[in-house]
Amino acid sequence: MKIESKENQLKADSELPIAQTDNIEYGLSASPRSRLLEPFRDSTFGLGLVLLLISGGAYLVYDFSETRKESAMNNVFFMLHYALALFFSLMLLTGNILHFHWKQYPEGRHSRWLGLLLWLISAYALNRNMSVFQKSTSWLCWALVLVGVAMVLYSWKESLTVRMQQLLYAVLAVGWWLFAYMAIYVCQLYIISIPLLLGLGLSVHTFVPLLFAITLGKRLWEDAKREEHLRLGISVGLSVPLLAIGLFLSGWIRDLNSMEQTRLEATIRKTSDLPDWVLIAQQLKQNGAVSSWITNRLLLSNRVYAQGHFFDDSSWGFGGLTASDDVREHDPLIVIASQLFPIDVLSNADQLALLKVLMGNRHGSEEKFWTGRHLAIQDIVSQVRIWPQFRVSYTEQTFRIRNQARNTTEEALLTFHMPPGSVVSSMSLWVNGREEPARLTTVAKADSAYRRIVNVESKIIARDPSVVYWQEGNRVTVRVFPCLAGEDRRVKLGITSPLTFKSSPMANRLTYQVPYVEGPDASSAKELIHVDFDSTPINITKPWLWQALNSKTLTHQGRYNPDWQLVFDAPNLSTDAFILNNQAYKTESLIPENESFTPTDVYLDVNKSWSQSEFKEAFQMIQRQPNCRAWVFDDGLKELDETELEPTYKRLHKQEFSLFPIYRIQNPATALLITKSTDISPTLSDLKNSPFAENLGQLAKQQVPIRTFCYRSDDQPNNLTPYLKTLAELSVLNVTTGYSFNLTQYVNSHEFPCQTNEPALIELPEAGIAIRETSSQPDQASVAPDHLARLFTYNRLLHQIGRQYFVKNYQTEALIQEAQQAHIVSPISSLVVLETAADYDRFGIKKDNSGLDNATLKQEGAVPEPHEWALLIMLASLIGWLIWRKRYALN
């Protein structure tokens, strides 16, 4: 009856602590403070808790300190964890608390659990040197911390309410699954670990997961039998991991089946221009956060995430241990899924290509000659000069990169995402403590020099090269080698950018946007920002906490933040010019103009981003035009029929992105392409060596750009996919963006915005200006910044390359000379820094003194004109004559 009445009391008031119900029944009273201090009556428990806090704190200090992975610090920290665990275990053993039959000695259970947690921390500290497990993924780290906290809170179990006890046991049940998984994962090491116990006993760490699994399993089993109210929490804790694994496996299998189905269907397609991986990427759905999360991990498996091994003969014993420099993470979900359902649908190259497109991880998938795992950006100095009256800016960013490895030489890889229309105009590398400016050369020479020094000659001695490459989509890639262990490297990049112009009835505004950089870890980096305006900005909007030194200078110092901008009123354009080689470069307002145009064929490039109303409205608009036909690309060009609108839209709308084969358009002069950008898309370089890329070579014969209208969406007001943007920059497409009513207006009025055909005029739509090149006058002063010439040359270079970009060996001496004159990075030119003058000579990289040099904030980089050279020679002669006369008088 007593037992029955106690259970009824618990059910009546489940929020009442168990200890209080016992006290009520037996007429006892216990204060909250006494219940809180109850576990500390055992002095061993108190000592164990202190040691656990010390060990856990030291583990965190090492992970967040700048000295991690340096020298022998890892060994020092491990020995601390190991000593604490060993010391406390000996205390338990000598105190008759550590027994093999723990069930018979419940009084020491809390202390024994603290001992297990100490061994767990020691095991993970040892794992830094001997990676039995790869670096744990984030959710696994938090899960282990949560289970550890629950094991400590178990000591106060009787003071908790029923609901809190159920939550506590649910967490312990989840922990049992985690440790059972780990115990199975390392079971192949058990046989070889047993004899090694006779040494220092380090191999005891192998059995830590097994001890946890046995301990938690026995406790869950015994308590579930004795206390019925705990069964709900235990059941939930055991079920949640199974449900998570089931959900993950269902998404994993779905993606694998989709890939296999797309690959099979590719063999029966009439047009097989696109590689299989592109077709897979088009059909691989990422609906929802969970679905995308699973797809990303499938693609990152065996790259970022280890696929692991269970009972793998090739990795039996300690042969399965991986080097501590392995960059992969350990995720139990991925290990289980990859072992049950291997990824044999994709080749390594296809998996890498999918990563670039679906995840936008182009920086992470770049070719790496050396690892860069231990690199971190220590500080960044950003110096900016803005010319509001010319709507241009120049940004220099200097990065100090530190190699935190113990003895590994590494390579730094940085990707700069620049504002639209930007161009790299300078680079420097610090060699032996001295800043060495880069030289401009062809991409082939720069790449050959860098690869030979880094891949071949570095095996004998580490030398100093750095190089910057042009990439599609307003990107450049910078490589720096070598980054020696425990040392810093400094590299500087200068970027010339047009300001973004936005017109409104209230005021015309200009926006300066800082480049965004991907590269080594910059989470702890500090940044110094210094912004100079050539003329006082009006109504400027700046980030909070920035200081104004004067009306033209802003400064800020703090933690690195890549997301800031400056907005201010746009002044009137200056009429001043920059003079280079008898040519003057001036800015003028860009006035959009339309040309007469009546399309005969309209091509609808339908994808996921299209709405059904946009598709129907476009088709109906085409139908209203006489002698005009509508086309779609659906495994070949097909004329669109009203009876097939619905199924055609549903079929094409499934595509995550589209790559319209513009080389199949028969009459480019009278064709109109209607498209809409998506979040993801391949670049032209991704399609290299494919039939699609080879067929693009046919565009070299095309005479006029194809008029293209891109639907504007609210979340992407001005963005184009990398594919469309590159085609627009190369003048293959004449792209205009807008909404449905804009398209209807163009078609009904038989007009379309035109591009300038003047070779001496280039347009910068982002800045709302055009830069014109004219012959300079003899007395004309060079007042404007040299960045006008650099922007003019870069954009004209892209237009001249144009459709020849798709033809091999499109680089001509004239184009290379033009890039050299302006000293800019382009599809045909790169900046490179080598260690010695002899290195430049042996790779045939010569300095051209006839054009501009590296852009700089100290001087504008202008080349003196002939009359200026004469003045300089006269001045030097005068100074020389005065010095000679003084010495002659003294004699």
Looking at per-residue pLDDT, the higher value among 179 and 283 belongs to 179
Q: Which residues share a beta bridge with 583?
A: 580, 775
Q: Is the pLDDT of residue 374 over 90?
A: no
Joined together, the tokens standing for residue 504 give: 């409104």
Q: How high is the pLDDT of residue 286? A: 66
> Do residue 354 and residue 366 come from a single domain?
no
Q: Is the pLDDT of residue 11 over 50?
A: no
Nearest 10 degrees: CA dihedral of 98, 99, 102, 106? -50
> Do residue 617 and residue 536 come from a single domain?
no
- DSSP-derived letter for residue 346 is S
> Do residue 604 and residue 556 come from a single domain?
no
872 falls within a domain: no
The dihedral through the CA atoms of 665, 669, 671, 676 has a sign that is: positive
Alpha-carbon gap, residue 249 to 53, rounded angstroms: 38
Percent of the chain with pLDDT over 70: 86
Look up the pTM and report it: 0.79
Q: Is the pLDDT of residue 10 over 60?
A: no
Q: Are 649 and 606 in contact (CB under 8 A)?
A: yes
- Among 291, 325, 358, the domain-final residue is 358
Which of 347, 339, 345, 332 lies closest to 315, judged by CA?
A: 339
Instruction: Name residue 137's amino acid.
Output: T
Residue ranges in 65-189 assigned as alpha helix (H)? 73-94, 109-126, 138-153, 162-185
> Do residue 344 and residue 399 come from a single domain?
no
Secondary structure class of 560 (helix, strand, coil) = coil
Using alpha carbons, list the distances in angstroms from residue 523 to 64, 364, 560: 11, 17, 8
Q: What is the CATH number of the domain that holds 832?
A: 2.60.40.1730
450 falls within a domain: yes
- Among 129, 155, 182, the domain-final residue is 129
186 falls within a domain: no
Residue 404's pLDDT band (cuts 50, 70, 90): confident
> Do residue 426 and residue 549 come from a single domain?
yes
The dihedral through the CA atoms of 593, 598, 600, 605 has a sign that is: positive
Q: Is the pLDDT of residue 123 over 70?
A: yes
Alpha-carbon gap, residue 825 to 810, rounded angstroms: 16
> Do residue 377 and residue 313 come from a single domain?
no
193 falls within a domain: no
Structural domain that includes position 97: 31-129
Q: Are 832 and 447 in contact (CB under 8 A)?
A: no
Residues 6+ apart with CB under 8 A from 737: 709, 710, 711, 712, 717, 718, 720
> Do residue 835 and residue 741 come from a single domain?
no
Alpha-carbon gap, residue 140 to 332, rounded angstroms: 8
Q: Using one digit for the tens of pLDDT, what is the confidence trace for 547-570?
A: 999 999 999 999 998 889 999 999
Looking at per-residue pLDDT, the higher value among 272 and 427 belongs to 427
Mean pLDDT across 479-493? 93
Mean pLDDT across 867-874? 44
> Do residue 564 and residue 703 come from a single domain?
no
Q: How high is the pLDDT of residue 442? A: 93
Distance of alpha carbon 891 from the chain centroid: 71
580 falls within a domain: no
Joined together, the tokens standing for residue 338 give: 């990859």
Alpha-carbon gap, residue 282 to 289, rounded angstroms: 18
> Do residue 418 and residue 526 come from a single domain?
yes
Looking at per-residue pLDDT, the higher value among 279 and 194 belongs to 279
> Do residue 639 and residue 738 come from a single domain?
yes
Q: Is the pLDDT of residue 120 over 60?
A: yes
194 falls within a domain: no
Secondary structure class of 446 (helix, strand, coil) = helix
Count the domains in the chain.
4
Q: How high is the pLDDT of residue 43? A: 81
> Do residue 46 and residue 66 come from a single domain?
yes
Q: Using one digit for the tens of pLDDT, what is the confidence trace for 599-627?
A: 999 999 999 999 999 999 999 999 999 88
Q: What is the CATH number of the domain that holds 732?
A: 3.40.50
231 falls within a domain: no
> Do residue 530 and residue 547 come from a single domain?
yes
195 falls within a domain: no
Q: Using one digit for the tens of pLDDT, what is the confidence trace for 769-795?
A: 999 999 988 888 889 999 999 999 999
- Among 114, 129, 144, the domain-final residue is 129
Residue 17's pLDDT band (cuts 50, 70, 90): very low
